[in-house]
Chains A and B, each alone.
Chain A
Amino acid sequence: MSIKVEHIMKKFGSFQALNDVSLEIPSGELVALLGPSGSGKTTLLRIIAGLEQPDSGKISFHGEDATGQSVSQRQVGFVFQHYALFRNMTVFENVAFGLRVKPRRERLPETEIRAKVHQLLKLVQMEWYADRYPSQLSGGQRQRIALARALAVEPKVLLLDEPFGALDAKVRKELRRWIRQLHDEIHITSIFVTHDQEEALEVADRVVVMNNGRIEQIGTPEEVYEHPANLFVYQFLGDINLFQGRVDGNRIKVGNSEVAFPGLVGAAIPEDKTAIAYARPHELEVYGESQGENAIEAEVRHIRAIGPTVRLELRRRDNGGYLEAEMTKERFHELKVKVGERVFVELRNLKVFVEDYQI
C-alpha cells in the first residue's frame, strides 16, 4: 500500500509544526523520518495515522483519499514511543484486543483469534510470555508485544514512533536488526520516526530528513549521506570540520593553501567571496610530511585510539582553529604521530553550501 502526503500544514498554537510537507512512499518500503526534536517528524507520523488532523493538505493511501477518515477507518498499525500497552491486560489480551473489539459480524471466532495471537507471538518470539502483564516485561519485550499487537489487525501500513528510543544501547542494536529482518519477511509499508542518524541510515530503504517542519531531503541512505542536499542534512548526518576560505571558480583558498572542491551544492557562488567549506573527519588526509603546497599545517593535540578507528584532534598552525581527523588503525600506525607533533592535512571531497546556515 503506497502512501501519499500532499501539502500538509499543521500548527500548534503559534508553533508551525509542519510547513507544506509533501511525500510519497511506494508500497512495501521501509522509510525513516529523521530529524532533531521539534522537526515535526512525530507530528507527520501521527497525521498519517489519523491521530492528529492536519490544518490543511491531503493524505491518500493507495491513491484513495484518507484525509477525512478516522483513525480506526485507516487500518494502520501504530507502535507508540512508550508502547502504550494496556497495563490491565496480559500480553495475550493486548495482542488480541484489536481482533476482539471488531463488530460482531467481522469478528473472528474465539478459537481463530487464539490461534492468530499465538502465531503472532511466535513471530515476535514471545510465545512463552502470553500470560504476563506488561509491567513484568523488559523494554525490548514490550516493544515486540507492541509490534505484535499492531500487526494483529493486519494493517496496510505500519507506523512506528521512535521505536528504539526508550531502549538501552545493546537491545537497540538487536531490535534494529530484527525489525529489518521482519520487514524483509512481511513487506508491509512501514514508516518509523527517529532522531538517530545511524539508526535511520542502517535500517531504512529511504530516509526523509526533516527540520523545522519541512522536509530537507528524501533519498536512499547513500544518497543523503554522500550527496546531502544542504548543509543541514550534511551536518545532521555526521561530524564535520569547517574551513573558511575565499572561493575562486571551483577552487577555494583555505589559509594559504588552495583546494579544488568538486561538490558545489546549490547555485554558483559570486567570485571573490568568502565561503565556508566542510569536510567530514574521515575525509581529512593526514601526513607526517608536507605533500606540497595544498596541505594545512597542524599540531596533534589529542589522540583517541579506541575501536577500529583513530581520531586525532588537530590545531591549525595558521589560524589556531581545531580540526578532527579520523583514520583506520593501520593508517595511524603508518603515520606514527604523537601528541604535540606536526602533521600536514590534505582535504578531500570538500563541500561548499550556498545557503547561509548557521551552525
Chain B
Amino acid sequence: MQDIKRLQKHPKAECILSEPVWFQWVLIGVAVGFVIIFLIAPLLMVFGQALAKGWGAYWEAIREPDSFKAIQLTLLTAAISVPLNLIFGVVAAWLIAKFDFWGKNFLLTLIDLPFAISPIISGLIFVLLFGMQGLLGPWLSQYNIKIVFAVPGIILATVFVTFPFVARELIPVMQSLGSEEEEAALVLGANGWQTFFKVTLPNIKWGLLYGVILCNARAMGEFGAVSVVSGHIRGQTNTIPLQVEILYNEYNFTAAFAVASLLAFLALVTLIVKHVVEWKSGRHLSGTLH
C-alpha cells in the first residue's frame, strides 16, 4: 500500500492528491466484493459441484462414453478451426499493420463483425446456407453431403465465431512495432519469407501465442452458434458445452459440472497464459477479447 504509507506520513498534505485511507479501503472492499460475488463464486461453484461426489465420480463422468466422444469432437473442431484462423490472423494483421490502402477501416470493421453478432445468429446463417430449406441444402443432399446438424456445420460455425481472435490480437502488436526492422532486413538483401520468419515472427510470437490460446478457448467453449447447427445427437454431434447442457437438463449435475470443469480449467490456463505473455512482452495486451 504505497499510497497509504505515504499518506500516513503526511496525512494532511497528501489528502488533496489522494483519498483518505478509510475511503480507499471502502472502495477496495466494494470492488473486491463485486469480484467475489460475480467472478470467484461462479468459478468455485464449477469445481465445487464437479467434485461434490469425490474424485471417483468425477472421473466416471468424464470417462462416460458420450462425454468422451464430446471431448474428442471438441478437440477435432479446435484442431481445424484454430489453424485456419491462425493463418488468416497473421495474413490479415500483416496486411493491415504494414500497408495503407483504401478501405482498410472497413476491412477492420468486418473482422470485428463476429464479435457483434449474437452466437445464435452465427449458427442461424449456416442453417440458412446449408440446411434442407437453405440455399445449398437441396443441392448438397443430392450428393449426400450433410453439413448442418453434422460435424462440418459445427466446424464452420466455430470458424466463424473465432475468426477475429488472432487478427485482433496481432494487429495492435504489429502496428506498434512499425516496419523499420522489416525494411532493414530487405535493404540487407533478405527476401519476403526470410524477413517474415527471421524478423517479424520472433517479434510477434507472444502476441501470437496469446491470440491462439484465446481462439482455442473460444473454439472449445462456443455454445450458442454450435448448439444451433449441431444435431444434438449424443455421442456424434455433441461438443463439450452441448454435452454440459444435456447433462444439466437431465439433472445430472455432478456430471454436468465435471465436464464443465474441463472448460473452466481451460479458461484458467488461458488467463495464466495471458499473464505470462504480458510479463514476457512487458506490456498490456489489448482488452479486445470480447
Contact = CB atoms under 8 A, between A and B. Distances in A.
Interface residues of A, number: 25
B187 A78 contact: yes
Interface in B153-203: 180-181, 183-191, 194, 198-199, 202-203
Contact of A80 (B184, B189, B191, B194): B184
Interface string B202-213: 110000000000
B203 A77 contact: no
Contact of B184 (A50, A84, A102): A84
Given A82-B180, A86-B199, A88-B202, A97 B187 contact: no
B198 to A, nearest CB: 7
Contact of A51 (B181, B187, B194, B203): B187
Contacts, number: 63
A71 B187 contact: yes
Contacts of B190: 72, 97-98, 101
Contacts of A152: 188
A201 B130 CA distance: 73
- Identify whether the interface residues of A are mostly helix, strand, loop, or mixed: loop
B187 A87 contact: no
Interface residues of B, number: 16
Interface string A51-85: 10000000000000000001110011110101011
Nearest to B177: A87
A15 to B, nearest CB: 14
A351 interface: no
A51 B188 contact: no
B185 A101 contact: yes
A113 interface: no
A315 interface: no
26 contacts: A49-B187, A50-B187, A51-B186, A71-B187, A72-B186, A72-B187, A72-B190, A75-B189, A78-B183, A80-B180, A84-B180, A84-B181, A84-B183, A84-B184, A85-B181, A85-B184, A86-B184, A86-B185, A87-B181, A87-B203, A97-B185, A97-B188, A97-B198, A101-B188, A149-B188, A152-B188
Closest A-B pairs by Cβ, 9 of them: A98-B188, A84-B180, A88-B202, A101-B190, A84-B184, A78-B187, A72-B189, A101-B194, A71-B186
Interface of A: 49-51, 70-72, 75-78, 80, 82, 84-88, 97-98, 101-102, 149-150, 152-153
